[in-house]
Amino acid sequence: MRLPRLPLLAALLTCTLAAPSFAGGIESMTEAERAAFRAEVKAYLIENPEVLVEAMNTLQDRQAQSEQASDKQLVTDHKADLFDDQASWVGGNPDGDITVVEFMDYRCGYCRKAYQEVEDLVKADGNIRLVLKEYPILGDDSVASARFAIAVLQLHGNDAYKKAHDALITLRGAPDAETLARLATDLGLEAKPVLDRMASNEVSAVIAANQELGSKMAISGTPTFVIDSQMLRGYVPLDGMQQIVASERKS
């Protein structure tokens, strides 16, 4: 529980340094005076440990505010690449007043956990534009899944990509060539062109661009969300996303 602000330590330091013997400040103290000063501060902190909690709370608040400001600036600096890169799948309401961007990895447990909540957010709201960015960071299976999804998008368009995305995010086995070929067939697609496209420069370019953008924005984990001007590093439950969407609409 956060404690109330207690500026007693500041008062102690002010009073101590205002004393005649310390009138010149810490720099002018003798070694004996420094020792006495340290002893006073130590004794005060031992008697009032809540001051340390207050100091830590204040530090954490300042760090959080600094990180939020930095993330907002990152979103502003990379707005075009985030919202209008032309290579990422766009769903929901294309004309929505709020854009949600998700950097995701199909093998990420928290991405899988967030999947249905993102679906529910977009469906229930009706005015959200959703952008999915393939961001495979968890190994070869992640890369294979992302390549398959991008290949489907490039060859067959948005509707086919969404079906592939839904299948991949719930896939339990490894996305090996046989599994992906069967998945393509299940989606009503010819498997060989999709599998061939996976190794193409066009698919590689999309992944490379997303990785470059993620590096510039210091994105080291998935899911990472951008909701208009706010960046959310990690899983956020449905009610949390709804609150952020509401606050963005008011701003």
Q: Select the CATH number that applies to the domain covering 79-250 from these four: 3.40.30.10, 3.40.50.720, 3.20.20.70, 3.40.50.300.
A: 3.40.30.10
Secondary structure letter of residue 97 according to DSSP: S
Return the domain boundaries, the chain: 8-72, 79-250
> Do the beta carbons of residue 129 and residue 100 sit within 8 Å?
yes
Three-state SS at 128: strand
Q: Give the pLDDT confidence of 174-226 residue by residue, as tens digits.
A: 999 999 999 999 999 999 999 999 999 999 999 999 999 999 999 999 999 99
Q: pLDDT per residue over 15-47, tens digit each?
A: 444 444 455 566 777 888 888 888 888 888 888
C-alpha 173/C-alpha 105 separation (Å) is 15
Query: What strands, in cross-sheet order, belong to the sheet with 224-227?
Result: 89-92, 128-134, 98-104, 224-227, 230-233
Rg (Cα) of the chain, in Å, rounded?
Answer: 26
